[in-house]
Amino acid sequence: MPTIAVVGCGIAGDEAAFAARRADPTARVVVFTAEPDPLISPCVLADYVAGEIPRERTVLRRPGEYARAGIELRLNDPVREWDPDRRELITDSGRFAFDRVVFATGSRAAFPDLPGVDLPGVLSLRTLGDADRMRRAPAGRAVVVGTGLVGVEAAWALRERGWDVTLVGRRHRVLPRLFDEPIAGRLAEALERMGIRLVLGESPVEVLGTGRSERLRTSRSTYPADLVVFGAGQRPQAELAAAGGVPLGPSGGIATDPTMATGLEGAYACGDCAETVDRLTGRRGVFMLWNNARLQGRVAGRAAAGAPARFPGSLGVSTVHAGDRAAASVGLPAAEHRDGSADLDHQVTPDGEITLVIRNGRVVGAQALGNTARLGGLLGAVLRHVQAEPLVRNPPAWAVRLRALRAAGRLKG
């Protein structure tokens, strides 16, 4: 009976454990986590902070579900180190022997190396503990740094709680890695309608305060800040695996192959700590999105149990709500193609707006505002590079539009 150890219990570790158990019901599957709860959804932390859902709704799986599946769950028992030669994990409770190990250690907030970031009142929105601290804090003046997904969601949540919110971004548009103009502009307008003050084109310099956060100084100005939330980036937590000789990739994540195996026999990795291949561009990197982690976990768990499985590659599919506007994107925005080779086709539709990102005559990305279900059909177009018509969502309209682009010589295939 093989013993499969899973280190970490986010969505990737959770999926890996259950997949391993299904693939080999005779295997002993043990999950180790430093957290007091198993699976938490980071996707709803902002909703909890905003008061939209109770705390218990952030927990997606209870300990009893693991026990019923025959999975051993070790809460509050972090793995401190490991011995790959002896195949042992060392935790606070002792040594644990394994046959195969799956690293699902996730990521952590990337706080900048600036004066004052260690002051009380400075945090991110990555964990349930972060959300608890934001919920407990009395409403005052908050500065959120970073206009990506985490920053926008944190700003929205705090504003819903009655905070005076300033959202600071280094780039000159919100959600720059997801949207081009004009959709990015529409989302910025929605945030401003909520009463969020947008400050673009400025970078944080230091957090000021006596004993706790009081102000944030940027490259251009200073803003009152009883709370400073850094939402600009995250890093893979790969140090534990690397300490045992598991190779890392250029991104800093654990290098994996399509079975989620690492460069060390018997060791697998999945989720935010794992480096994989972008399905659209072929570029290697860490792609920290829920669905990527979920699918990687399933593959890693099956592979660790000796069953066939392959991960097709990561996809950058994201959805966001900014005030009263919903938007979704897949692939890089045209502005993020640094060589200027990408073109845009933007259309206003009866139920929203849609933008196609076109490069070398192929659809390589899409963005939707309003009816985000449209992205389902366009994802097919992106994955097939418009070799066939996308027929998943509202097929007649998009078949006509894609044919029109071909007729104009803007698309191939």
**Cα 344 to Cα 355: distance, rounded to the nearest angstrom:** 7
Joined tokens for residue 29: 């599957």
**Cα 251 to Cα 275: distance, rounded to the nearest angstrom:** 7
CB of 359 within 8 A of CB of 342? yes
Neighbours of 159 (CB within 10 A): 22
CB of 354 within 8 A of CB of 179? no
Catalytic residue among 9, 43, 270, 273: 43
**Cα 83 to Cα 55: distance, rounded to the nearest angstrom:** 37
Which helix H or strand E contains 193, and what residues bound it? helix 183-193
CB of 103 within 8 A of CB of 240? yes
Q: Phi first, then psi: what are they for 11, rounded to 5°? A: -65, -35
CB of 256 within 8 A of CB of 285? no
Q: Is 43 annotated as catalytic?
A: yes
**Cα 307 to Cα 155: distance, rounded to the nearest angstrom:** 44
CB of 322 within 8 A of CB of 155? no
- Which positions are annotated as active-site residues? 43
